[in-house]
Amino acid sequence: MTPSPQLISWAQQAELPWLRFSPTTGRLEFIVDNTILSDYRGCPAHFVLTYIEGWRRKRISGDVSREWALDFGTLFHRMMEHYYRHFKDEDFKLEDFAIKTAFAEWQKMEMDVHLGHKECQAMGGYPGFAGMLCQYANQFKAENERIKVLATEVAFGKAGDVPIYRDGDTTGNYYSLPYFVECPADIYLSGRLDIIADDGYHILPVDHKTMGSFRGDPLNRFIVDDGPTGYIFALNAILGSLALPEELILKRECNQIQMNLICKSVPKEGSRFKRLPIRKSTAQLEAYRLRTIQTVNHMLSDLELYVRGIGIPRDTSKCNNWYFKECAFLDVHRQMDADAEAATLKNGFIQLPIWNTEAVAGVED
């Protein structure tokens, strides 16, 4: 399906951070990440209200633009970036890292706004956060840390350095599999690798994930998650552009990710930190790429409906189970007509800047 002139014109005017029109190639370009892909797959109608129109539900109290999960994830990523840049320095001091630096970052992000959140209370606010960092730095201190850190906070996607699909990609795939999926738009993967490391056998991403608690095997939710798969895919694409010795690259595989799982609450038994590997074959990486292309193809079809003012598909099974809670737009979608929906949006929601796949450091849960 070739994008209509109406869709192209709308994309130029909308100025969305994840969609643009290239006058050079004359094609639409999607800059996607796992958040956009997974939310669209979850429910196209939710995707439209969130990633096209920018609606966010108002809160009874507090800053509507602040979310505990996002803010804490950003804060923890900042501290991990600082730690892995300096933890092997001769003058590194644990108390400076876990107390002084952590407090400065906590204050800078004004994290006290979240003191009423149940997870923040369970963690113990800033003192609990400092204690968590002390525990982490003790468990993964320089003499215990088995991985060699090669780089931290490596962004990708801004220069189209991780292509999923481009016009003229007639090879069919990057992994020599015997099938081919086309797309009338170019697709690029965007994101940020927390750590690129060498474990002696692999050059691999290390991805920090903060979790409310460890239930059962905490790795289960990530084994089939496209997020970690995308990070492995991205590292393969940008590996040659990193300032790494060629002999190191040739001696290491690049088909694995280490999930660095951090439990915000203190578990009843065992450590609150788990380092677990996920391995992906070349077939799984190609299947990931093909899934992404197909998702964007469906997205294009729904965007054509949207610009024509036609209703977008809605997955009603998610209305009462959007990531184990009610969808934020449940009140909107149960209204009797379009006017009532518009009134509900105006009264109960606010429009904020659209999720930027090239600027956001990551999402925690």
- What pLDDT was estimated at residue 364? 39
- Residues 301-342 have pLDDT tens digits of 999 999 999 989 999 999 999 988 899 999 999 999 999 999
Instruction: Write the burial class of residue 37 (CB in 10 Å: 0-12 exposed, 13-18 middle, 19+ buried).
Output: buried
> Rounded to the nearest 5°, which phi and psi values hold at 280?
-130, 130
- Residues 210-251 have pLDDT tens digits of 887 777 787 888 898 999 999 999 999 998 888 888 888 888
Residue 32 lies in a domain: yes
Question: What pTM does this model have?
Answer: 0.88
| Structure tokens belonging to residue 162 | 């991780």
Percent of the residues in the chain that have a pLDDT greater than 70, as a whole number: 92
> Rounded to the nearest 5°, which phi and psi values hold at 275?
-115, 105
CA–CA distance, 103 with 106 (Å, rounded to integer): 5
Residue 9 lies in a domain: yes
Residue 115 lies in a domain: no
| Structure tokens belonging to residue 360 | 């956001």
> Rounded to the nearest 5°, which phi and psi values hold at 126?
-65, -45
Q: How many domains does the chain have?
A: 1
Residue 68 lies in a domain: no
Range of the domain at 347: 5-58+291-351
Q: At what angle do helices 282-307 and 226-238 cross, to 10 degrees?
A: 110
Residue 18 lies in a domain: yes
Instruction: Look at residue 256 and give its three-state secondary structure.
Output: strand
Residue 167 lies in a domain: no
What are the CB-based long-range contacts (under 8 Å, 24+) for 114-121?
Answer: 114/66, 114/68, 114/71, 114/72, 116/62, 117/68, 119/68, 119/72, 119/212, 119/264, 119/265, 120/68, 120/72
Residue 41 lies in a domain: yes
> What amino acid occupies position 253?
E
Residue 178 lies in a domain: no
- Residues 182-192 have pLDDT tens digits of 899 999 999 99
Q: How many CB atoms lie within 10 A of CB 14?
A: 15
